[in-house]
Chain A
């Protein structure tokens, strides 16, 4: 198990390295941070001096080495506009995003698992159709729209929770719920389909032929067998949250997280800060996948140890 874990961690580190290098390539080869940060009418001299000031006139290999050696010690360069280390800006915002994603994940799992099991239990009956209807609605509705909707209803009309910001537990409910909703719809359908499929498998038929009820068989036999897939899918949803939902929802709820920081940095054309935010979010994605691998290993003894 330890050897396996060490291998997974090394693999994850390699992925982080590759991803961050890709980010570097996109920022430095396909675009030019200096030009982007200047007004369109800036003169050639302005650009050259900006390039020199940012060290962008050095050979690409030197810049890349700088970038990589900075990464190792957590240095992600300096923000153009805020003249602060980009890593400091990002890490200040990271806890808020992590809280949001954690909350949304809890909402997702607590909604999806019971809904999926109920739908499978009452396959092709009313509860199944109801869960399907809910899932389709939650998948089709864009999260930002749900976000505005719940703000209008729960914050403005009912006044139960604040409309924006992150101050205490109450402000945390609506954004977590908004993100969790979309993920829960997909995950509930996947759980339902997984259980219905498992229920047709010989081991489940055998369990029922021994006199175990359908509900017992779902909870004690099939759910464990879909748990591995459930964890994997939950991981994907968490990934989506880091790379998509948090960005949109943090803006909608004025949530001071990395997603909103990235949007602000894009508006400021602060490519170094964008790059830092993307590197950190991508690292979160890789860490999520690592956690999923460990969880699957714990659930299913057949997961290859190699």
Chain B
């Protein structure tokens, strides 16, 4: 893996700052994403990991300026190469062409009533501007690129005629159709067989290296992060609680939640021991504590934690954490 990161050696592509997405409910507005900050550089593979309901998927779409109603973006900024993506005109240009997204469930992410060829043609014609035979040629090239055998036959297939792995490959082909610079992958391997998961991850990894595409990998699976990413951010209750290069995160997690996540992963390289979990339930998002969202489940919690949410601070070179027990460099 190429050594990258937000250390100035690469160009910054995506800059998300204080992004907040709210969903109105009877009990008031619930924040799906709460003050999210992240950056993705060129040629970088960033992982965002969190449990279900942590706001990962909402985040992925919100980066493209999309929120399913009745939710809406309540604050913050999303900049792509300096341009404001939350501006609809910029978003229309950036979506698909610069930032493409692939989704959790390839079973339902392809239009069930259009052939693979029709879905590629539509993109190549309307978003890239290809014409005539160039469309077919590029379609075949794309399917070949994602490792689909007999691409000529597959152009005529409907999604329901393909296996799960094939569908995800087609999804990736449609995502790459417009030569994007960043790929947002929202749980791309969830719901696939383990062997297929591995193939898809390897494919994504190779493509991102060959084509120089950055990837924002959204997942609940630490294994995927370990295998795929250069850097990882841990998300809890719509907030980033820790940010670190991949090796350091796995060797020495700083936030108590990250530590808990790592301990709850079974390992084959260590003697069998009781698998540790994180005590308590994921938060009911309508009942936010005023302080740190993880405080009710945290073994290290103390009074300060109940007052206000801790800010995300730099605790070491390329390491950030949002925890009162991990004071920042400045206060050390």
Contacts and interface: CB of A to CB of B under 8 A. Distances in A.
**Do A and B come from the same complex?**
yes
Nearest to A299: B113
Given A205-B66, A205-B68, A213 B92 contact: yes
B103 interface: yes
A209 B113 contact: no
B64 interface: yes
A23 B138 CA distance: 62
A225 B111 contact: yes
Contact of A209 (B66, B112, B158): B66
Nearest to B102: A206
Given A123-B69, A208-B66, A211-B127, A225 B112 contact: yes
A209 B96 contact: yes
Interface string A120-132: 0001100000000
A205 to B, nearest CB: 7
Given A210-B95, A210-B174, A220-B122, A203 B109 contact: yes
Contacts of B92: 211, 213
Looking at chain A, what size class is its interface with the partner chain?
Answer: 20 to 34
Contact of B101 (A201, A209, A225): A209
Contacts of B185: none
Interface string B138-161: 000000000000000000001010
A208 B111 contact: no
A165 to B, nearest CB: 45
A211 B95 contact: yes
B108 A202 contact: yes
Contact of B113 (A123, A200, A208, A225): A225
Which of A124, A202, A212 neighbours the largest number of chain B CB atoms within 10 Å of its CB?
A202
B96 A301 contact: no
B18 to A, nearest CB: 23
Contacts of A3: none
B105 interface: yes
B127 A301 contact: no
Contacts of B101: 206, 209
Nearest to A209: B101
Interface residues of B, number: 34
A211 B158 contact: no
Interface of A (DSSP majority class)? helix
B126 interface: yes
B234 interface: no
A224 interface: yes
B178 interface: yes
B97 interface: yes
A58 interface: no
Contacts of A205: 61, 66, 68, 103, 109
Given A203-B109, A220-B122, A302-B160, A210 B66 contact: no
A221 interface: yes
A211 B113 contact: no
Given A205-B61, A220-B122, A210 B100 contact: yes
A46 interface: no
A200 B66 CA distance: 11
A251 interface: no
A302 B126 contact: no
Contact of B68 (A124, A200, A299): A200
A212 B101 CA distance: 13
B126 A201 contact: no
Contacts of B68: 200, 205
Interface in A181-210: 200-203, 205-210
Interface string A141-174: 0000000000000000000000000000000000
B178 A224 contact: no
Contacts of B109: 202-203, 205-206
A301 B174 CA distance: 22
B167 to A, nearest CB: 11
Interface in B82-129: 92-97, 100-101, 103-105, 108-114, 122-123, 126-127
A268 interface: no
Nearest to A217: B111
B172 to A, nearest CB: 12
A144 B108 CA distance: 45
A203 B126 contact: no
B72 to A, nearest CB: 12
B103 A206 contact: yes
A203 B113 CA distance: 10
A57 interface: no
A72 B135 CA distance: 56
Nearest to A123: B69
Contacts of B112: 203, 225, 302
A300 interface: yes
A203 B111 contact: yes
A299 B158 CA distance: 13
A299 to B, nearest CB: 8
A124 B95 contact: no
A208 B99 CA distance: 12
Contacts of B94: 211
Given A201-B108, A202-B108, A203-B112, A210 B96 contact: yes
A202 B127 contact: no
A210 B105 contact: no
Interface of A: 123-124, 200-203, 205-213, 216, 220-221, 224-225, 299-302
24 contacts: A123-B69, A201-B108, A202-B108, A202-B109, A203-B112, A205-B61, A206-B101, A209-B61, A209-B64, A209-B95, A210-B123, A210-B127, A210-B174, A210-B175, A211-B94, A211-B97, A216-B126, A224-B111, A224-B114, A225-B113, A301-B113, A301-B158, A302-B112, A302-B158
